[in-house]
Amino acid sequence: MKSYSAANLLGKEMQPQHIAERLANFFSFAFNKEAEIELAVEVPQSVYLRTRLMCEFIETNYEIPVSVGEFVSALFIDFIQRNMKKHNPKKVCDELTKYVKPIESLEINDPMNNKIYLIKKKEHSTYVVGFSLDKVNIRRGEMILAEIDELTGNYYTVEELISRLWNNFIKGFSEGNNEKAIEKIFKMISTHIK
């Protein structure tokens, strides 16, 4: 079985082994739900910096300290819960491929002079962020991705999933598609993390 994260929880669980070993591994996993695993996620530096600004805004306006890790964990947990409640592989694929094609130029609208400027975008710098996530949700993410892989042939890891969810959220916010982004993330954080 393919590895769907650096932790490869599902792959280890699905390895052929004696039934007694499989039961022992299952119960060990079930009773060790609090265990967390560190995953490294790569995003454009601009996405990371925008997230830090959003976290500072939430902290200033709602008086609740929010780390980038909590912000991104809330996005991931929200994705897992949405996909556990409603099975829709096509919607998952659409969400994962939403902003895959790179934008060659940035369009800036200048209404004062009635002009639109096209500025060629430069290559972005990437930033690698380490997050501690609980094993249960990493495993659930691996199961969703294994299903997508089996149904569509599109292979993603949990790290890529988190990176894409994070990019999609910030890009959607930047494009004005999610006017209530701050309230939405605040609600997710207060619901899922606290």
Q: What is the pLDDT along the chain (194 residues), one digit of tens a residue?
A: 899 999 888 888 887 765 566 666 656 555 555 588 999 999 999 999 999 998 998 889 888 888 999 999 989 998 999 999 998 988 998 888 887 655 556 667 777 888 877 776 666 789 999 989 999 999 999 999 999 999 989 999 999 999 999 999 998 888 777 667 777 777 777 775 54
pLDDT value of residue 22 = 60
pLDDT value of residue 194 = 46
Each domain of the chain, given as residue ranges in start order, spans 1-12+41-100+127-194
This prediction's pTM: 0.78
The first and second tokens of residue 141, run together, are 């993410």
pLDDT value of residue 21 = 64
